[in-house]
Amino acid sequence: MNVFKSTILTAACIGVLAVAGGNVVRADEADVFKIGAVLPFSGPYGIIGKGMKQGAELAIEMRGSKVLGKPIEVTWEDSETKPQPSVQKATRLISSGAQMIFGAASSASTVALQGITEQRKIPLLVTISADDKITQANGYRYTFRTSNTLGMEIRMAIEFAKVRGLKKIYGVAADYAVTRDGMDSFSAAAKEAGIEIVDVDYPALGNRDYSIIIDKISKTDADGVALIVTGSDGVTFLKQAGQAGLGKSKVLFGPVLQDEVLAAAVGPDAIGAASGVRYHYSVDNPANKEFVEAYRAKFNEWPDSFAGEAFDGMSWFLDVIDGTKSWDREKWVDAFAGSVRENSVEGRKEMRACDHQALQVGLWGVVEKGEAPYPALKMKITNVFQPEALFPDCKE
Amino acid sequence: MSTIVIGLSMGMLLFLLAAGLTLIFGMLRVINFAHGSLYMLGAYLAFQTVNITGNFWAGLIAAPIIAAVVGALMERIALRPVYNRDHVYQLLLTFGFILVVDEAVRMIWGLEYKQMYPPELFSGAVEMFGSSVPSYRLFIIGFGAAVSAALFFMLDRSRYGMIIRAASGDPEMVRTLGINVSLVRTGVFSFGAGLAALGGAVAGPLFPIELGMGFNIIIDSFIVVIIGGLGNIRGAILASLLIGMTRALGYSFAPSWVDFLTFVLLIGTLILRPEGLFSRKGRTA
């Protein structure tokens, strides 16, 4: 084969691949609306995937399993709580005709998904990952986050420290980029508020023994401990702190320290721990009541934060798509940016056009003993912070 | 001083986690990748037993016994046919055990975290050297010391230990003496699986019981085994204490460098004494 022929053949192959791929925005009406869900069903965040799946399933079911008059088909894939499998599976789903991607849970996986969804021009619905960098001004056109950012949760933690009158705080954050940034923000805001940061420790992510750190904290005169850890790290810390009686002399709190799922894993030692709460079934509004009732009827359990956020995000996005009456993904993206959801299960939400981050209230709560039919340990919502106090203006 | 006490408890916990792994390698020359899964299974079994009986001690006894039966079945059905093959087969097989055990745990107990509490006797804290040390940590120190003494006695002083060591060193000679070497191997693997589960049961009140917990400890266990010398129980005890103290001091002065310090210890051992810090030539236990 001569050079000319091989060049023509290569160009033809590239052309075919470009057309076959998702780079061309499709506006054709399809027989089904395909959603590709990449959620953690295994790995450190394996427990999150179940709630997200159930919440999204219910959102779809409650709208008759249809959008744009066509049946919705969801393919569930396990992200394994790792970026690489997340990208591989999302790529496969997009190649199979997914109109949107839903996921992931860990911020690292979500950031990895953003690469592929931006490249293929597929909307990415994020309902749990909290890294502030996921939604940034003029950042990712196809990414929409309907849930909290870590930044707003840090601001809630500071407000809590001020309300509780804490004067000296010991900080513990997982040795991980997002949580280190979070602790830096917390420390800076604490200093502004006149709160002294006694010391900060950065144990490894997935650390298994906090006993020495707990011993160090107990010997300081700090009156509060800010814990920027979550998942099994938070559970391990609170279990071991409980055995040493740390909670009796210090206020234990963190932006994402506890919810009902994690409190159940800690046991009674979780009582009194304060935390930001992404969603809560006790939020008093008609939309939430309807959701909680339907969720309990279908799954025979209270919806957790992951289920509530997934339900809310999925319902919102599908409503927006229906509103466009179009199969053009660019129109969905344009419509979602700047849209307002008055009847969210968490109250009013507004999708900020500049960074595709939903402005919303922030919930803060404390773990307390629950009575049937509630879980044995439940979050009592103690503070509701308004969006103006939690979200800084969009910056370039 | 309290740092030393907590360091000792960390070391003893590490020993309990790694003892089964080093025993199986020392006697069978099998690197059991499924050690972490058996540890996780032990934690879940202990949780289930405590849930049914309401008694921590029942969980501590039942978990290793049930896991030992599971281990015996694993060895009898899957491992025995590949002893004479290349080590790769054994590695792949034990890796396969991980998938089977993890999936079984997921099907039986689901994805939710489970919780266990220390027994009433060790649920409080003791004031020592100006620190409030959880009494369960003191229990771990005592229990770990008792387990290590029992292992010493069994492997070094008892007739069973002599048979195990002989079967490990020269199986053909032992076979000609009328001893069923296959049964000895099954017993050793089963015992190692029971030890892994015992580690899981002891760790239950300290960590969340979850599907990924086995993966979290397998690296720690291998570090202990490598530093102590492959298959060397004495080495495993000393290596566990060394790592425990290193970590305790690390957490005191530079928490974010703890893993780094541990790996420096590991790499230093591999460079200076690849056979392990405490190994003695020809010794397997």
Q: Which long-range contacts (CB under 8 A, 24 or more apart) does B49-55 make?
A: B50/B116
Question: What CA–CA distance (Å, rounded) separates B268 from B270?
Answer: 5
Q: For residue B188, give the nearest of B224, B228, B233 by alpha carbon.
A: B233
Q: For residue A347, give the nearest of A296, A280, A301 by alpha carbon.
A: A280
As a whole number, mean pLDDT of residues B106-126 equals: 89
Q: B220: pLDDT confidence band, cut at 50, 70 and 90?
A: confident
Does position B188 have pLDDT exceeding 50, yes or no?
A: yes
Chain A residue with CA closest to B213: the answer is A44
Question: What CA–CA distance (Å, rounded) separates A336 from A334?
Answer: 6
Chain A residue with CA closest to B123: the answer is A243
Residues in B closer than 8 angstroms to A213, CB to CB, are 251, 255
Q: Which of B8, B116, B206, B260 best probes binding to A when mutated, by most A CB atoms within 10 angstroms?
A: B206
Q: Does A209 sit within 8 Å of B251, measured CB to CB?
A: yes
Does position A387 have pLDDT exceeding 90, yes or no?
A: yes
Q: How many CB atoms lie within 10 A of CB A353?
A: 14
Whole-number pLDDT of residue A232: 83
Residues in A closer than 8 angstroms to B217, CB to CB, are 208
Q: Does A267 sit within 8 Å of B206, measured CB to CB?
A: no
Q: Which amino acid is at A102?
A: F
Q: Which of A13-27, A289-303, B257-271 has the lowest mean pLDDT?
A: A13-27
Whole-number pLDDT of residue A11: 53
- CA angle (A366 as vertex; A170, A251 as ends), nearest 5: 25
At A382, is the secondary structure helix, strand, or coil?
strand
Q: How far off is chain A from B55, nearest CA to CA, in Å?
A: 17
Bigger pLDDT: B189 or A205? B189
Whole-number pLDDT of residue A24: 44
As a whole number, mean pLDDT of residues A257-284 equals: 93
Chain A residue with CA closest to B103: the answer is A42
Does position B5 have pLDDT exceeding 60, yes or no?
A: yes
Whole-number pLDDT of residue A166: 96
Contact B256, A204 (CB under 8 A): yes
Query: DSSP characters for A307-353?
Result: HHHHHHHHHHHHHHHHHHT---HHHHHHHHTT-EEEEEBTEEEEE-T
Contact B71, B231 (CB under 8 A): no
Q: Give the pLDDT confidence of A208-266 residue by residue, as tens digits.
A: 889 999 999 999 999 999 999 888 889 999 999 999 999 999 999 999 999 998 899 89
Whole-number pLDDT of residue B233: 84
Residues 6+ apart with CB under 8 A from A365: A274, A275, A277, A280, A379, A380, A381, A382, A383
Indicate the burial class of B107 (C-beta count within 10 angstroms; 0-12, 13-18, 19 or more): exposed
Whole-number pLDDT of residue B4: 87
Question: What CA–CA distance (Å, rounded) separates A295 from A182?
Answer: 33
Cα A192 from chain centroid?
28
Q: For residue B51, give the nearest of B103, B113, B115 by alpha carbon.
A: B115
Does position A9 have pLDDT exceeding 60, yes or no?
A: no
Question: What CA–CA distance (Å, rounded) separates B61 from B43?
Answer: 12
Q: Which of A290-294, A366-370, B109-113, B178-182 has the lowest mean pLDDT?
A: B109-113
Count how many pairs of residues, chain A against chain B, have C-beta atoms within 8 Å: 121
Does position A2 have pLDDT exceeding 80, yes or no?
A: no
Q: B285: pLDDT confidence band, cut at 50, 70 and 90?
A: very low
At A297, is the secondary structure helix, strand, or coil?
helix
Q: How many CB atoms lie within 10 A of CB A141?
A: 15
Question: What CA–CA distance (Å, rounded) separates A292 from A62?
Answer: 12
Question: What CA–CA distance (Å, rounded) separates B201 from B190?
Answer: 16
Q: Give the pLDDT confidence of A363-373 residue by residue, as tens digits.
A: 999 999 999 99
Quote ipTM for the complex. Answer: 0.81
Strands A70-78 and A66-67: antiparallel
Q: Under an 8 Å CB criterion, which residues of A touch B?
A: 41-44, 46-47, 49-50, 175, 201-204, 206-209, 211-213, 215-216, 218-219, 232, 235-236, 239-240, 243-245, 261-262, 264-267
Q: Does B252 sit within 8 Å of A216, measured CB to CB?
A: yes
A43, A203, A244 ranked by CB distance to B134: nearest: A244
At A130, is the secondary structure helix, strand, or coil?
coil
Q: Give the pLDDT confidence of B204-217 residue by residue, as tens digits.
A: 999 889 888 888 78
As a whole number, mean pLDDT of residues A342-364 equals: 95
Q: Under an 8 Å CB criterion, which residues of B touch A?
A: 2-3, 6-7, 9-10, 13, 106, 111-115, 117-118, 123-125, 130-134, 136-137, 205-213, 216-217, 220, 247-248, 251-252, 255-256, 258-259
Does position B119 have pLDDT exceeding 60, yes or no?
A: yes
Does position A25 have pLDDT exceeding 50, yes or no?
A: no
Whole-number pLDDT of residue B279: 67
Q: Which of A4-13, A151-160, A274-283, B159-168 has the lowest mean pLDDT?
A: A4-13
Q: How far off is chain A from B232, nearest CA to CA, in Å?
A: 25
Whole-number pLDDT of residue B130: 81
Question: What CA–CA distance (Å, rounded) separates B17 from B148?
Answer: 12
Contact A322, A68 (CB under 8 A): yes
To 10 degrees, the CA torsion angle through B72, B77, B79, B81?
A: 140
pTM of the model: 0.83
Helix B56-74 and helix B35-53, axial crossing angle in degrees, nearest 10: 140
Contact A251, A226 (CB under 8 A): no
A219, A236, A245 ranked by CB distance to B208: nearest: A236
Contact B34, B97 (CB under 8 A): yes
Does position B76 have pLDDT exceeding 90, yes or no?
A: yes
Q: Does A211 sit within 8 Å of B134, measured CB to CB?
A: yes
Q: Which of A179, A209, A259 best probes binding to B when mutated, by most B CB atoms within 10 angstroms?
A: A209
Bigger pLDDT: B203 or A138? B203
A175, A207, A266 ranked by CB distance to B115: nearest: A266
Q: Does A266 sit within 8 Å of B256, measured CB to CB?
A: no
Question: What CA–CA distance (Å, rounded) separates A356 from A45?
Answer: 25
Q: Does B210 sit within 8 Å of A47, measured CB to CB?
A: yes
Query: DSSP characters for B263-284?
Result: HHHHHHHHHH-TT-TT--TT--
Does position B199 have pLDDT exceeding 80, yes or no?
A: yes
Mean pLDDT of chain A: 90
To 10 degrees, the CA torsion angle through B160, B161, B163, B165?
A: 160
Does position A16 have pLDDT exceeding 70, yes or no?
A: no
Q: Give the pLDDT confidence of A154-185 residue by residue, as tens digits.
A: 999 999 999 999 999 999 999 888 889 999 99
Does position A286 have pLDDT exceeding 90, yes or no?
A: yes
Whole-number pLDDT of residue B170: 85
